[in-house]
A = this chain, B = another copy of it.
Amino acid sequence: MISFLNDYNALACKEVMEDLTKYSLEYNVGYAQDIHTISAINLIRKELKRDSDIYFLAGGTQTNRIGLYQMLKPYEAVICVETGHINVHETGAVESTGHKVLTTKGKDGKLVLSEVDEVLALHNNSHLVLPRAIYITDSTEIGTIYTLKELKEISDYAHKHNLYLYLDGARLGVALNAKENDIELSDLAKYTDMFYIGGTKNGAPLGEALIINNEELKNGFSYLLKNQGGLFAKGYLCGIIFESLFTNDLYNKNAKNSLDKANKLRNVFKKHNIKEAYENPTNQIFVYLTDSQAEYISKYALFELWEKKEISIYRFVTNFNSKDSDIEDFDNILSKL
């Protein structure tokens, strides 16, 4: 069975596992004060070209939840597109900290500023929540990516309107390594107030690196992290992982493998006349399949139903561990359709 189910279905890449094994009996101080964590922070800061505060958390929902909680006063709200992960797929994690998620329609999974204008125009007095942050994702829920120009525009808009900009980087690796991409980590450090570099979906067994760029948001975060149950006793676990990912370009290498296999998979679909639903340059491929096509393929490969329709949309995802042979095998499978 070939797995295109998602990008968090295999535990960890070889290099990360080797480093974890290497340091498994080494003594380290707890609570993220150890040398690996410090080293990982320094490696990341070098790419950020900025003295941002960096914390390692377990997963994406936790990171979004605690990161946005740090940004918002009790009556403040965050704006995102309807399909935003925080709005739909986090079981109300943001609301659990007391904050409303305000939504706009968006386009191609991305935020449209004219729609944010309408939200701000409506929310103009203390009987409605006070919008205070914008949440975007790169790559988005449907695999699209932001351009540097778009990022700058959203950043300028946000800061002009007294909003913080938060970027969810669960799939940042494939976004930054996509062929069309022109954003660098240092741009995110410059244009967002907070963002995270996702490890879980890029070859780490767990871990997201939350980056706090805005000075106003740095104070007290270590307290909030502990208070919300997000601090690891063995902080060096994520320290070692991110030290590994940011050594020898491993983070990009993992992402590039996902992208390479995704592009090859796209060609296979094209070759077999299977049409993409949401074209995008990253590692999530959304295609239209008839019921019988889907049934046939599901005997040989793992993938996900995305949207039930007359001709439904299915999602195929490549990952750090996808292989050329997976694509070749899949091509053969489709040939027998």
Contact = CB atoms under 8 A, between A and B. Distances in A.
B89 A100 contact: no
B220 A73 contact: yes
Size category of the A interface is: 35 or more
A231 B20 CA distance: 22
Interface string A1-27: 101011011111110010011011111
A126 interface: yes
A53 to B, nearest CB: 13
A223 B222 CA distance: 26
Given A17-B21, A200-B233, A206-B237, A75 B91 contact: yes
Interface stretch (A56-64, A153-161, A177-185, A189-197): A56-64
Contacts of A17: 20-21, 24
Contacts of A62: 229-230
A220 B17 CA distance: 34
A153 to B, nearest CB: 27
A68 B306 CA distance: 33
A231 B128 contact: no
A272 interface: no
A304 to B, nearest CB: 11
A186 interface: no
A226 B95 contact: no
Main secondary structure of the interface of A (DSSP, over half): loop
Contact of A75 (B63, B65, B92): B92
Nearest to A170: B233
A201 B8 CA distance: 27
B75 A223 contact: yes
Given A58-B58, A75-B223, A228 B25 contact: no
A169 interface: no
A226 B91 contact: yes
A106 interface: no
Contacts of A76: 223
A31 B69 CA distance: 24
Given A8-B233, A233-B200, A228 B93 contact: yes
Interface in A31-84: 31, 58-63, 65-66, 69, 73-77
A151 interface: no
A93 B225 CA distance: 10
| Chain B CB within 10 A, most for which of A61, A63, A321 | A61
A88 interface: yes
Given A24-B14, A27-B5, A77-B92, A232 B127 contact: no
A114 interface: no
Contacts of A10: 24-28
